[in-house]
Amino acid sequence: MRDEVNRSPATGHGSRLFAAAALLLISGCANVGYYWQSVKGQIDVWSRQRSIAEVLQDTDAPEGTRDRLARVLRMREFAVRELGLPDNASFTRYADLERPYVVWNVFATPELSLKPLSWCFAFVGCVSYRGYFSKEEAERFAAELAKQGHDVYVGGVPAYSTLGWFADPVLNTVIGYSNPRLALLIFHELAHQVTYVRDDSVFNESFAVAVEREGVKRWLARHGTARDKATYERGLARRDDFLRLVVTYRGRIKVLYQSGLDPDTMRARKQETFAEMVRDYERLKAGWDGFAGYDRWFAQGPNNAHLASVALYTQMVPAFQALLAREGGDLPRFYKAVRELARLPRAERVAALRATIPRSVAGVQ
């Protein structure tokens, strides 16, 4: 839920509550209920956090948790020193939310389109998903959209960035991750504090993914064990397999929707295509030595909204990687170039990004 938490002073619950009240007033009556659940959810996160330094000294805290949090501090230091990511209080506190996800994002598209619906919020602009701190509220909103004929997908989110407006804590939702995955998440969320473009979720998320991948590559080279490297390589190979599957079926569905067939025929062929996608996933998974990490994504039955949720995070990653290569792998220069792109009008920004990537590389649409 990188979209709904807005700026206010970061010290003291009184100032946070004042900011929350101001937010409700400027947002308009139509959004009051939604913003209120966001404010309550964020305050609940704050109420549960403790400094990592305090947890490390707490002999009652599980040893495994303390070990993980000590690694988080080292990863954060690496992010600042070696990757040039923001040096602030983010990831210096820990909060146990006693649930598996911090928020649940709702994605939606029209029945016969891959274009995601978007929602607009104060300060951050329009984004292609809507987040809830309650799974039940997310599912209720998704059900309302489904009644209107939309494809919907509800996905649990283990962490989010407040874009530098607040200090983001480490959450119990990620503390059990492998070392490479934990480092990747920290680098991704800190990257959102480097730059953020209103109304362009694809730009923001693709940039953060490019940073996370470069960051974890450098972290593994410097600090990774043989086990860490093997774990990361297996995970990356499976992720690439999954993304290829999504890109393949996104292409097939896109062709179907552009075919000019009558809606009933499109609906029938859409069902057949997604059923085939599930079968291909089961065949793909058979070679993963029992790994079933993408089962949750398929559990609701894949549809347009599922495809849109993946495109959001990956669509422009090759372009950002090409831009980093153009800057000689120099991350500060890369960040400067990205900030310059962020100031351009959207059409110019997309064109400039596309111009960085060789025609032979797929993935930018």
For position 32, what pLDDT does the model report? 78
pLDDT higher than 70, residue 253: yes
* Average pLDDT over the chain, rounded to an integer: 89
**pLDDT tens-digit profile of 335-361?**
999 999 999 999 999 999 999 987 645
Give me the pLDDT at residue 164, please.
84
For the cut 50, the answer to whether the pLDDT of residue 364 exceeds it is no
pLDDT tens track for 235-250: 999 999 999 999 999 9
In terms of pLDDT, which residue wins out, 122 or 141?
141
Longest dimension (CA), the chain: 66
Using the predicted structure, report yes or no on whether residue 108 has a pLDDT greater than 90.
yes
pLDDT at 214: 97
Q: What is the model's pLDDT at position 311?
A: 74
Per-residue pLDDT at 359: 62
Q: Say whether pLDDT at 132 is over 60.
A: yes
| pLDDT over 80 (residue 14) | no
6 — pLDDT class (breaks 50, 70, 90): very low
Mean pLDDT in residue range 300-320: 89
Q: Residue 17's pLDDT is what?
A: 44
Query: Residues of the chain with pLDDT > 70: what percent?
Result: 89
Write down the pTM of the prediction: 0.84
pLDDT at 365: 44
- Residue 2, pLDDT > 60, answer no
286, burial (CB in 10 Å: exposed 0-12, middle 13-18, buried 19+) = exposed
pLDDT at 313: 73
What local confidence, expressed as pLDDT, does residue 123 receive? 65
Q: What is the pLDDT of residue 21?
A: 44
Task: Provide the 10 A C-beta neighbour count for residue 192.
Answer: 22
> What's the rounded Cα separation, in Å, for the pair 282 and 289?
12
What pLDDT does 22 receive?
A: 44
Q: What is the mean pLDDT of residues 285-292?
A: 94
Residues with Cβ within 8 Å of 260's Cβ and at least 6 positions away in sequence, in order, are none
Q: Which one, of 166, 123, 121, 126, lies nearest residue 8 by Cα?
A: 166
| Confidence category of residue 162, pLDDT binned at 50, 70, 90 | confident
Q: Which segments of the chain does DSSP mark as H helices, in order?
A: 13-27, 29-48, 52-56, 63-83, 135-147, 179-191, 201-223, 226-257, 263-285, 295-299, 304-314, 317-326, 331-342, 346-354
pLDDT in tens, 35-88: 889 889 999 999 999 999 999 999 999 999 999 999 999 999 999 999 999 999
Cβ-in-10-Å burial (0-12, 13-18, 19+) of 30 comes to: exposed
pLDDT value, residue 35:
84
